Structure 1
Amino acid sequence: MPMPGNGTTKQLPGCEACFARVNRGLCGDCQPGSPCAVASYKTADREYKVGQDLFSLGEPCDSIFNLLEGWVILYNILDDGRRQILHFALPGAVLGFHPGGGAMMTYGAQALTDIVVSTIPHKALQPIVSQQPEFGLRLAWLVARDCTLAYDRLTSIGRHSARERVAHLLLKLFVRCRAQWPGSHIEEMNLPLTQEDIGDATGLTFVHVNRVLRDLRKDRILEFHYRRLRILDPDKLVDVAGLDPQLVMSWIR
């Protein structure tokens, strides 16, 4: 668990303006005006700069982190120093939840952008759920959602070609981001990834990722340049990614 000083504290907002409620977070099911069981247990929201770890591989973690703003990568480091990105967490995600509570973490979590998180001690979860049972269901739903996304990407890494893996990853991130822009039909977005990040997430070398992105641009399917993603042909991208359109819609829901 990050020690004081690893992030800066931020004034707690009122319940009506809390990002954990308005940004599909842990309090997303709270009704306006209802008592907030979480408020008396969570600490002040904490800010982390890009590159800072919320927790590292092998560290004990006795709190959960509700990501309110920014992007986080979950990662593992192999003995030879190679990195595998396991998952990209977007606002609303819950990080650090472990059924053992305080057990050693089997992966690390690092800020991909500047982020804001809300922190709740593991020991507070039982009393919160006792007071507000829907909180427990919400927590289970958020964890299950990210597991489903991770399983889907694991399948892609294990069975897709390099072209399919890159298309699958970029399409998934684009759709997940756009789900947080209600009513938006923009086919372009800032994507805070480097080609190295894409390689670490898909199991490909930098050279291979560069070649795939060049081919996708040449085929007028998408452009990814200087961390900006532009979808040129959504239908072709879905085909290349080897995805059922209904599955794409399920990510939004």
Structure 2
Amino acid sequence: MSWHQASLSGETSRSLRCDHWETAENARNVPPLPNFPITVSLHKTAMQADEVTKRRGRHKQDNDSEAHTVALPVDAHRLIPNYRNGDRRVEAGRDLFSIGFDGKAIFNLLDGWVAIYTLLEDGRRQIVQFALPGAVLGVRSSRSAPATVGAQALTDVVVSVIPTSVLTSHSRADPDITMRLARSLAHDCNLAFDHLTSIGRRSARERVAHLLLELFTRYRAQWPGHRSEEMVLPLTQEQIGDATGLTFVHVNRVLSALRKEGIVQFHYRRLRIIDPDRLIEVSGVDPEIAMAWLERRPWG
């Protein structure tokens, strides 16, 4: 299966203090966000992915011969437009919220990477999803239900902490916010179903390849002008194992094999896709699933 045929067009930590959620500081106190330098390649993939963003009216015109590598602005990821009172910066390694959290707030990720995880009694961890900018975290099934998952910052992140009272009032004034939230949760549900399929049915080799391809594709959607086969992947091999249900040793073995076969390189938290067609073949990705990965948040 070719890249074109696949339709790719287009360790536990301290918690964010609860008393910060209701007494939000102004967004201007948040330090500037980092930009990552990106090189040029994968022209076919980039052009195809841009067609997806064009159809959603979010493609940024580039008149230069070289692609710019400018990420979507932070405001593009806000669930509630113009709401900045809840902006917080959380250091890498800290929890946005922990399992059992029952605070009256949700978390809108504006910048950075977050791991959504569960824990077993013996301390073993399962990462159920990697959240990227635009994600809405901490939504519970009812007001009295505690969180069954935790959320850990893998990088320094910026989140908008939205008290449920604020969400309720803004939703009444702008009913579209409720639909945005519903679509976001549906997007996350689809990712969760796909990860469940990986752990239940895919081989170790397929799981790792599938995860790398998913994360690269989702990352690309955050950078409309991205023309590179490289990305910063802020994960350790242990975290990849926690996401795929594999041991560190097994993940290391799979990554070494993919590198020796000239498919991918993963070194010092940088991922380089050398042979995308082979990676698609190894991962056994479904074209429709890949298209779903490319979709940004409805308001992004």
Q: TM-score, normalised by structure 2?
A: 0.74
Aligned to 1:124: 166
Please name the residue that 1:21 is paired with. Answer: 75
> Does the alignment pair 1:202 with 2:244?
yes
Query: Residue 143 of structure 1 aligns with which residue?
Result: 185
Counterpart code for 2:162? I
Partner of 1:44: 86
Q: For residue 59 of structure 1, what is the aligned residue in structure 2? A: 101
Q: How far 1:153 moved relative to its partner?
A: 1.0
1:196-243 CA distance string (max 9 Å, x none): 000000000010000000000111111111111000111111111111
The answer for the alignment partner of 1:11 in structure 2 is 26
Could you tell me which runs of 5 or more consecutive residues in structure 2 were left unpaired when the two chains were aligned.
Answer: 1-15, 29-71, 296-300
Match of 2:260 in 1: 218
Q: Quick one: which amino acid aligns to residue 105 of structure 2?
A: S
Q: Structure 1 residues 239, 10: CA separation in 2 closer, same or farther (over 3 Å shift)?
A: farther
Match of 2:222 in 1: 180
Q: Distance in 2 between matches of 1:182 and 1:116?
A: 20
Rounded Cα–Cα distance in structure 2 between residues aligned with 1:199 and 1:238? 20
Asked if the contact 1:60/1:104 (under 8 Å) is kept, the reply is yes
Amino acid at match of 2:79: L
Give aligned-pair identity as a percent.
56
Measure, in 1, the Cα distance between the counterparts of 2:141 and 2:173. 20
Report deviation, 1:61.
2.6
Say which structure is richer in strand.
Answer: 1
- List per-residue Cα deviations over 1:77-125 (Å, max 9, x = no partner): 1111111111100011000111312521101111111011101112333
Instruction: State whether residues 129 and 136 of structure 1, in contact with CA within 8 Å, keep that contact through their aligned partners in structure 2.
Output: yes
Q: Is the contact made by 1:188 and 1:228 (CA closer than 8 Å) also made in structure 2?
A: yes
Tell me what 1:33 maps to.
none
* 3-state SS, counterpart of residue 85 of structure 2: coil
On the 8 A contact 2:25/2:85 being kept in 1, the answer is no
1:102 and 1:63, CA in 2 relative to 1: closer, same or farther beyond 3 A?
farther
Q: Would you say the 8 A contact 1:20–1:66 is kept in 2? A: no
Contact kept in structure 2, 1:112 and 1:192, CA below 8 Å:
yes
CA–CA distance in structure 2, aligned partners of residues 70 and 102 of structure 1: 29
Q: Distance in 2 between matches of 1:223 and 1:19?
A: 29
Native 8 Å contact 2:233 2:271 kept in 1: yes
C-alpha displacement of 1:143: 1.2
Alpha-carbon separation, structure 2, partners of 1:5 and 1:88: 24
1:42-61 deviation per Cα after TM superposition (whole angstroms, max 9, x unaligned): 63311110111111111213
The answer as to whether partners of 2:74 and 2:111 remain within 8 angstroms in 1 is no
What corresponds to 2:205 in structure 1?
163
Conserved? CA contact 1:61–1:96, under 8 Å: no
Task: Quickly say closer, same or farther: Cα 1:209–1:143, change in 2 above 3 A.
Answer: same
How far the C-alpha of 1:19 sits from its partner, in A, is: 5.4
Q: CA 1:120–1:161 in structure 2 vs 1: closer, same or farther (change >3 Å)? A: same
Partner of 2:27, secondary structure, is coil
Work out whether residues 45 and 117 of structure 1, in 8 Å CA contact, stay in contact via their aligned partners in 2.
yes
Which residue in 1 is equivalent to 2:117? Answer: 75
Q: Distance in 2 between matches of 1:154 and 1:10?
A: 38
Residue type matched to 1:157 in 2? I
